[in-house]
């Protein structure tokens, strides 16, 4: 079941589909255990461990996991969460309208270059389609220089470094106003 669809010029149709743990565990395991995805924190997980993690997420009303597809090809994992129901919410003053996200892209080699710069805004549009959403929250590992560069390039404002259960993280926020100023829709341009 497709939750969201957006055409990305030059790339094709991006779709988000809820992760189904039994169906997707092997695919996700293949991604989260790659050395380059070590910051995801699941490098030592078995397929059954990955299935159990996403079965747990699937049972929550406050956290959601989606497979990202481009023209039907799985290229990534996108997770959303309500910060007040997550450990990050214990480490900063959560505001009404905050929504958290995690992104792991694992595209075929031919799509890798510049993909985040195109997919990132589409995912932000997905999150901000809810009028109550006011600010996107991320907390990448402070050692993940690639993620920090991407977050900064997307217009996030860096806040404090925080200690999470499994990492030292850089808290960062992207307001609806900043996103819409940087990515006007045809109606607002």
Question: Is the model's pLDDT at 79 over the cut of 80?
Answer: yes
Q: Are 44 and 32 in contact (CB under 8 A)?
A: no
Confidence of residue 153 (pLDDT cuts 50, 70, 90): very high
Residue with tokens 């924190």: 41
Question: By C-alpha distance, which of 129, 139, 130 is closest to 100?
Answer: 139
Residue 5 pLDDT > 70: yes
Of 142, 75, 83, nearest in space to 103 by CA: 75
The contacts of residue 71 (CB under 8 Å, 6+ apart) are: 11, 12, 13
Residue 111 has a pLDDT of: 62
Question: Which helix (H) or strand (E) element contains residue 146?
Answer: helix 145-153
What is the C-alpha separation between 131 and 141, in angstroms, rounded?
29
Question: What percentage of residues in the chain have a pLDDT greater than 70?
Answer: 95
Distance CA 103, CA 153 (A): 15
Cα separation, 64 vs 178, whole angstroms: 24
Share of the chain above pLDDT 90, in %: 84
pLDDT at position 118: 87
Q: 108-125, pLDDT tens digit by residue?
A: 766 656 788 889 999 999
Phi/psi-derived region of residue 68, left when phi > 0, alpha when psi is between -120 and 50, beta in every other case:
beta
Model confidence band, residue 189 (pLDDT cutoffs 50, 70, 90): very low
CA angle 169, 155, 140 (to 5 degrees): 15
- According to DSSP, residue 141 is labeled B
For residue 175, give both structure tokens. Answer: 């307001």
Average pLDDT of span 144-162: 94
| Stated pTM of the model | 0.93
- Give which of 70, 82, 86 is closest to 4, Cα–Cα: 70
Average pLDDT on 80-98 reads 97
> In this structure, are residues 157 and 151 in contact, taking their beta carbons and an 8 Å threshold?
no
Please give the domain boundaries of the chain with CATH numbers for all domains: 4-182 (3.40.630.30)
pLDDT band at 170 (very low <50, low <70, confident <90, very high): very high
Check pLDDT > 60 for residue 144. Answer: yes
Mean per-residue pLDDT of the chain: 93
């Amino acid at each position: 079941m497709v939750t969201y669809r957006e055409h990305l010029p030059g790339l094709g149709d991006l779709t988000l589909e809820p992760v189904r743990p039994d169906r997707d565990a092997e695919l996700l395991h293949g991604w989260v255990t790659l050395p380059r995805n070590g910051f995801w924190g699941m490098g030592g997980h078995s397929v059954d461990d990955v299935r159990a993690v996403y079965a747990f997420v699937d049972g929550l009303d406050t956290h959601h996991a989606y497979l990202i597809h481009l023209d039907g090809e799985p290229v990534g994992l996108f997770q959303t969460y309500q910060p007040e129901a997550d450990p990050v919410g214990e480490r900063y003053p959560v505001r009404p309208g905050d929504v958290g996200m995690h992104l792991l892209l694992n595209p075929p080699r031919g799509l890798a270059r510049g993909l985040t710069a195109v997919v990132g805004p589409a995912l932000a549009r997905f999150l901000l389609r809810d009028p109550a959403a006011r600010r996107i929250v991320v907390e990448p590992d402070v050692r993940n220089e690639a993620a920090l560069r991407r977050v900064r390039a997307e217009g996030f404002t860096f806040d404090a470094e925080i200690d999470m259960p499994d990492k030292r993280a850089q808290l960062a926020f992207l307001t609806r106003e900043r996103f819409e100023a940087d990515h006007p829709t045809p109606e607002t341009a």
